[in-house]
Amino acid sequence: MPALNVEFTERELEELRALAKERGTTMKSLVHEAAAADIARHRALREGAEVFRRFFTEHEAEFAQAFPEDEPAARAAHAA
């Protein structure tokens, strides 16, 4: 399996050791789980943003009607 060397400051390494011990796991597992969780969060945010963009695009006219003051032409008129 591919591996990655990660550098930490002495303080970060001490805190990582303490956290791994507190959780009853290895430092390697702790770092792996944290990275995997961050990847999953990033994927979920990206997918959620795409769902929102699709929804907004599909309902653009309804949003424009409901919030006319937020339309680009209305904002430009207020700025002038």
Tens-binned pLDDT, residue by residue, of the chain (80 aa): 899 999 999 999 999 999 999 999 999 999 999 999 999 999 999 999 999 999 999 999 999 999 999 888 766 666 76
Q: What token pair was written down for 13?
A: 């390494």
Contact call for residues 20 and 27 (beta carbons, < 8 A):
yes
Quote the pLDDT of residue 61: 93
Quote the pLDDT of residue 39: 98
CB neighbourhood size of 37 (10 A)? 10
